[in-house]
Structure 1
Amino acid sequence: MSDSSNSSSAQSRLTQLKGFLTMNKTATTIPWDPDSTKFPTRKELPSIPGAPKDAAWVWGENDFSGRLNLLTPTRVRAAAKEITYGEIVPVNLPLDVPSTPAFGRRSFEQEIKPVVAPICYDDVYHLNTQSGTQWDGFRHFAHIPTGQFYNRTTAEDLVGPNPNHKCSIHYLAEHGIAGRGVLLDYAAYAAKMGARFDSFDYHEISWDELYQCGKDQGIDIRPAAQGGDIKVGDILFVRSGWVEQYYQKTPEERHRLATRETTHGPDSKLRYAGVSQEEKVLDWLHDCYFAAVSGDGPTFEAWPTQREYYLHEYILALWGMPLGEMLDLEKLAQKCREHNKWFFFFSSTPANCRGGVGSHVNGQAIL
């Protein structure tokens, strides 16, 4: 055995002993134990054979729940303690909002169907699961350089001659989504600072701005491992103000903005405000070990990307974090500010559709 192997083995034993004495358990051996209390930073991630750099395919060969594995009974019970006032705040836009979805998606349609007229009726929905308040599932966006979705899933698994259910949205439905949510009301913070921006145009929300926003709300958005207030398994919500601005526009403006030309690359005319795709944000989103992340705009990150990668690639394909978009965070922001309470219990029920790509959120916060 080489000196380096001896050193590595000794370090591993030392880590295990230290964990035993401090009641901390460090995630080291794949598959990771989701009940661990310490997890590697992005820069400490193990190299996984056949996986792209920065891939965190660490929960098992056949895992398609990703970071939802962090929503353990212990963490869900702890999250329930955030319920102080018992106020329920749904975060779902009406199914017909936006009236014209972006990216060429189909608008919502409803058809009333008589069963026994005039005393019994059904209705039929025609919708794109990502036309409104949505979870992007792990089949939605691949790691572009390798063409791999989360945990070695490929397009052949979705639409090949022998498709299967790898990375299907039904895994998220079967696991369930419930935990501690945290809201960063960037729109309110920016207005307070006199920083005006258009949510329907490219605007990066940097890590430094998010940090200052949190500080203004009285919270430290760094992970607990670095002395902050974010706990492993928290669910992130970022309000950019897109929903508020949507309702301020005329129907004609909404349609025009949604149908702007979209192209692959930085010059796309379809543009939105969102979280920056800088390295600081990548480190933060990974190292906080959020179970899921979400925003109120059609894109979580500032769109289109001005870098050689998309944040979608990291969040969905590499890390397996459900990604929410177009959540209605208006009432939630109002209630959080009213109570000066930015953490809350959150639950969501994705569609149990085997082979599904995405789902409406069907979510609510409870303060």
Structure 2
Amino acid sequence: MLRGVRSVRQGKVFTCGEVIGHPDGDPLWPGRAPARREMTVDKDSYVRGDMAPLPGGAEFADDRIDMFLQGSTQFDALGHVWYDDQLWNGYPASGTVGGLRKASILPVAQRGVVGRGILLDMATYMGKPYLEKGDLFGLEDLLDCAKRQGVTIEKHDILCLRLGFLQLLRVQGPELFYQDFLEPGLTYSPELVDWFYEMEIPCLSTDTISNETELDPAIGVQIPLHCALMRNLGVTFNEVCNFEALAQDSQADGQWDFLYAAAPLKVAEAAGAPVNVLAIK
């Protein structure tokens, strides 16, 4: 954390959370419904006579939201994905029935995730404004991108990757964006997993929904990094970030490291929770 604090040199603050309930649509994993926000009290409540002004004349507005906890910028719980009937740390998968009694989002939320963040602009590195379906990269690309940006990835850094893919939702519209949906991104390799282990990377954060390409074409396995990094190593996954403003500023001033600070909502027994990530330079 103190290395992250030492990265604060300019006093610039960037919020990297997506807008929940965006009028042009939320970036969602296919099959999840968008957030629905509704007013429960507003001026019409008083006009209709459903509500009376408070003593002294004050009135107020109130609203509620119905959403998937992983339906916007969010953290996965360590128990979100498993295989062989075991979660992270060997907890039984049966402990997820009705709610995650182990490895839920709550311990992450209670502690928060704070440290030195490193942003790697993978889209720019690959010569594109944003990556598209089928664009893949691996460990060598990560290291080469960092070298080109002139930044050194150190032990315990929080790795943030800008792909720009979710910006296509605004450019293309939902129908084309979700057609034959396949996110670009990081692909599995034993070398990549070993590097995460040796570098003790605590958190992988990207501006995609899955933090990896969903079906790895080389091995034919779906979400292998969720299994190899999250389930096996305990790497937290922060997904659906918006790094556009941060990347533009970093391209301009050449500073790619920052204080990363995030605390997902404290939801008991949940498999994930929304978060608004702060990047402070």
Question: What are the Cα deviations for residues 248-293 of structure 1, in whole angstroms up to 9, with x where unaligned?
Answer: 113xxx23433x5xxxxxxxx4311001212222222222211101
2: CA distance, partners of 1:131 / 1:80: 30
CA distance in 2, matches of 1:208, 1:164: 36
Q: Distance in 1 between matches of 2:77 and 2:175?
A: 26
Specify the alignment match of 1:147 in structure 2: 85
1:213 counterpart letter in structure 2: C
Structure number with higher relative contact order (C-alpha < 8 Å, ≥ 6 residues apart) = 2
Q: Residues 238 and 197 of structure 1: is their aligned pair in 2 closer, same or farther, counting only changes over 3 Å?
A: closer
User: Contact conserved, 1:197 with 1:203, CA < 8 A, in 2?
Assistant: no
Query: Are the structure 2 counterparts of residues 126 and 198 from structure 1 closer, same or farther at C-alpha, using a change threshold of 3 Å?
Result: same
Render the CA deviation track for 1:7-57: whole Å, top value 9, x for unaligned: xxxxxxxxxxxxxxxxxxxxxxxxxxxxxxxxxxxxxxxxxxxxxxxxxxx
Q: Does 1:159 align with 2:97?
A: yes
AA at the equivalent of 2:260: F
Q: 1:135 aligns with which of 75, 96, 99?
A: 75
| SS of residue paired to 2:216 | coil
The aligned residue for residue 83 of structure 1 is 8
- 8 Å contact 2:131–2:163 — kept in the other structure? no
Aligned to 1:101: 28
Q: Does residue 356 of the first structure (1) align with residue 281 of the second (2)?
A: no
Partner Cα separation in structure 2 for residue 169 and residue 303 of structure 1: 22
Kept in 2, the 8 Å contact 1:202–1:304? The answer is no
Pairwise CA distance, 1:93: 0.7
Aligned counterpart in structure 2 of residue 189 of structure 1, from 125, 129, 143: 125
The percentage of counterpart residues that share the same residue type is 24
Match of 2:193 among 282, 306, 311: 282
CA contact (8 A) 2:123 2:129 kept: no
Cα distance change on mapping 1:332 and 1:202 into 2, 3 Å: same
Root mean square deviation, CA, Å: 2.1
2:31 paired with 1:111: no
CA contact (8 A) 1:101 1:131 kept: yes
Q: State how far apart, in whole Å, the 1-side matches of 2:230 and 2:138 are.
A: 20
Per the normalisation by structure 1, the TM-score is 0.67
CA contact (8 A) 2:27 2:240 kept: no
Aligned counterpart in structure 1 of residue 175 of structure 2, from 219, 237, 255: 255
Q: Unmatched 5+ residue regions in structure 2?
A: 47-58
**AA partner of residue 110 (structure 1):** R
Gaps of 5+ in 1: 1-75, 220-228, 261-268
- String of CA shifts for 1:268-324, please: whole Å, max 9, x gaps: x43110012122222222222111011111221122123254111012111111111
Q: Which residue of 1 aligns with 2:205?
A: 294
Q: CA deviation at 1:159?
A: 0.6
The one-letter amino acid of 1:288's match is: M
Q: Which residue number corresponds to residue 16 of structure 1?
A: none
| Structure 2 CA distance for aligned equivalents of residues 176 and 112 of structure 1 | 31
Equivalent position to 1:245, from 168, 174, 181: 168
Query: Radius of gyration: which is bigger?
Result: 1
Write the letter of the residue equivalent to 1:150: W
How far apart, CA to CA, are the structure 2 residues paired with 1:344 and 1:178? 11
Distance 2:176 2:35 in 1: 18
Higher strand share: 2
Q: 1:296 to 1:345 in 2, by over 3 A?
A: same
- Provide the aligned length of Structure 1 versus Structure 2: 263
Alpha-carbon contact 1:348-1:361 (below 8 Å) kept: yes
Query: Residue type of the partner of 1:109?
Result: R
Distance of 2:245 and 2:100 partners within structure 1: 40
Taking structure 2 as the reference length, what is the TM-score of the superposition? 0.86
